[in-house]
C-alpha cells in the first residue's frame, strides 16, 4: 500500500514514517518544512535502511497535492500548525493552515477517489473535563483556536462520511506525545522556546536553558502540580500504523491514543533528573490562565479495536528523550 504522509518531516510524522517503512508500506512524505527540516527524513531512512519519497509542497496547493497523491492508496494527515499559545495570537493563520489546508486535501482525495484517511486530531477537542479519564464520548468543546481547528476538521470529516459512506476514516485523538526514537537519531526539536514541558526539561538538562518554570503548585492533585497523560512517540506511531491497517471497511470513528494515566510536573522532573544524573533546577511560578489540574485518557477503545497498547513508561520516555538530546545538543542543527 502506498501512503502519503502530510507533514511527515515533523516530530510525530517522522516517527510514523519509521514504523510505516518497517511495516512494509510504500511511503511518500509531503511537507513544506514550515516548522520542520529535511534532516529527520534522512535519518528515518538511516534507521530503517529503506527509502521513502519526498515531495515539497503546501497542503493548500491543490495542484501540487494532486501530483503527490497520484498512485496513493491512503493518507495520514499531520500537516498544520500546532502551538496552543501561538494559535491565540494568530488564529487566522491556524484556520488557514489547518482547516483550509485539510479542506484542500479532502477535495483532491475526493477527486482522485482516495478514501482512506488517518487524521491527526488532539485531546484538546475535549476542553475542560466534565469527568476523567476522558473517553471518546466526552462532550467536545475547546478552549483555544488550535483545538477549535481540530474540532472543525473532525466535524468536516463526519459530514463528509455522512454524505458518502464509502470513506474509511480514523480520527486519532492523542494526548501528550513525548520521547524520541530509541536510536537517538530522531526526536522533538522545537523551534525557539519549547511550548511543552518535556523538551524544555531536556534543554535545561543539556545546559541550553537555566531552569524549568513550574506554573502552579497549588492544584488539587497529589503534589499540587498539573497532571498530564504523556505517551511515548513510538507508541503513538504504532497506533497510527495499526489504525491504517484496520481501515478495511467504511467508517468514520474517533479513537483516543494515550497512556491511560497521568504524571505530574514534579514526576516528570524527578524522572528526568534520574536519567540524566543531575537535579533539574526549577522555580514555581503563578498558574497560567486556562490551565487545568488534570487531563488524561481512557484508551480502552484503541486497545479493543486496534489491538494497541502502550509499551513505554515514563522512565523509558525520559531515557529516550535524553539520548536524543545528548546526541543532538542543539537539535538537528
Q: Verify whether residue 146 is a known catalytic residue.
A: yes
pLDDT value at residue 195:
84
* Residue partners of 79: CB distance under 8 A and separation at least 6: 6, 7, 30, 31, 32, 59, 97, 101, 105
| Secondary structure (3-state) at 267 | helix
Domain boundaries 2-177+230-258, CATH class: alpha beta
**Whether the Cβ atoms of residue 51 and residue 45 lie closer than 8 Å to each other:** yes
Among residues 146, 161, 219, 263, the one annotated as catalytic is 146
Low-confidence ranges of the chain (pLDDT < 50): none
State the alpha helices, DSSP H only, in the chain: 11-22, 39-48, 62-69, 84-89, 91-94, 101-112, 145-163, 197-206, 233-245, 265-276, 300-306, 314-327
pLDDT value at residue 8:
96
CB environment 300-323: b (16+ within 10 A), e (fewer) = ebbeeebebebebebebbbbbbbb
CB environment 54-64: b (16+ within 10 A), e (fewer) = beebbbbbeeb
pLDDT value at residue 290:
80
pLDDT value at residue 326:
96
pLDDT value at residue 193:
86
Q: Where are the domains of the chain?
A: 2-177+230-258
pTM: predicted TM-score of the whole model, two decimal places = 0.96
Give tens-digit pLDDT for 179-195: 999 999 999 998 888 88
Amino acid at each position: 500500500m502506498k501512503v502519503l504522509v502530510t507533514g511527515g518531516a515533523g516530530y510525530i510524522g517522522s516517527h510514523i514514517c519509521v514504523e510505516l517503512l518497517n511495516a512494509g508500506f510504500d511511503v511518500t512524505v509531503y511537507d513544506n518544512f514550515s516548522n520542520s527540516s529535511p534532516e529527520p527524513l534522512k535519518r528515518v531512512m538511516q534507521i530503517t535502511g529503506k527509502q521513502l519519497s519526498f515531495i515539497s509542497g503546501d497542503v493548500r496547493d491543490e495542484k501540487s497535492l494532486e501530483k503527490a497523491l497520484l498512485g496513493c492508496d491512503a493518507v495520514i494527515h499531520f500537516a498544520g500548525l500546532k502551538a496552543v499559545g501561538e494559535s491565540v495570537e494568530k488564529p487566522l493563520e491556524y484556520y488557514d493552515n489547518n482547516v483550509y489546508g485539510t479542506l484542500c486535501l479532502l477535495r483532491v482525495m475526493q477527486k482522485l477517489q482516495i478514501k482512506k484517511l488517518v487524521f491527526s486530531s488532539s485531546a484538546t477537542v475535549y476542553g475542560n473535563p466534565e469527568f476523567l479519564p476522558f473517553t471518546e464520548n466526552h462532550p467536545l468543546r475547546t478552549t483555544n483556536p488550535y483545538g477549535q481547528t481540530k474540532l472543525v476538521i473532525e466535524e468536516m470529516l463526519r459530514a463528509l462520511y455522512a454524505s458518502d459512506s464509502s470513506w474509511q476514516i480514523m480520527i486519532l485523538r492523542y494526548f501528550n506525545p513525548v520521547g524520541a526514537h530509541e536510536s537517538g537519531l530522531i526526536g522533538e526539536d522545537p523551534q525557539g522556546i519549547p511550548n511543552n514541558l518535556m523538551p524544555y526539561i531536556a534543554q535545561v538538562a543539556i545546559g541550553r536553558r537555566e531552569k524549568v518554570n513550574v506554573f502552579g503548585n497549588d492544584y488539587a492533585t497529589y503534589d499540587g502540580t498539573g497532571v498530564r497523560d504523556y505517551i511515548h512517540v513510538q507508541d503513538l506511531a504504532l497506533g497510527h500504523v495499526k489504525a491504517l491497517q484496520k481501515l478495511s471497511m467504511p467508517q468514520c470513528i474517533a479513537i483516543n491514543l494515550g497512556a491511560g494515566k497521568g504524571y505530574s510536573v514534579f514526576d516528570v522532573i524527578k524522572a528526568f533528573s534520574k536519567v540524566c544524573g543531575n537535579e533539574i533546577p526549577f522555580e514555581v511560578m503563578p498558574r497560567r490562565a486556562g490551565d487545568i489540574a488534570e487531563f488524561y485518557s481512557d484508551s480502552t477503545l484503541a486497545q479493543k479495536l486496534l489491538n494497541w497498547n502502550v509499551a513505554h513508561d515514563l522512565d523509558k520516555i525520559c531515557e529516550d528523550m535524553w539520548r536524543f538530546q545528548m546526541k543532538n545538543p542543539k537539535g538537528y542543527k
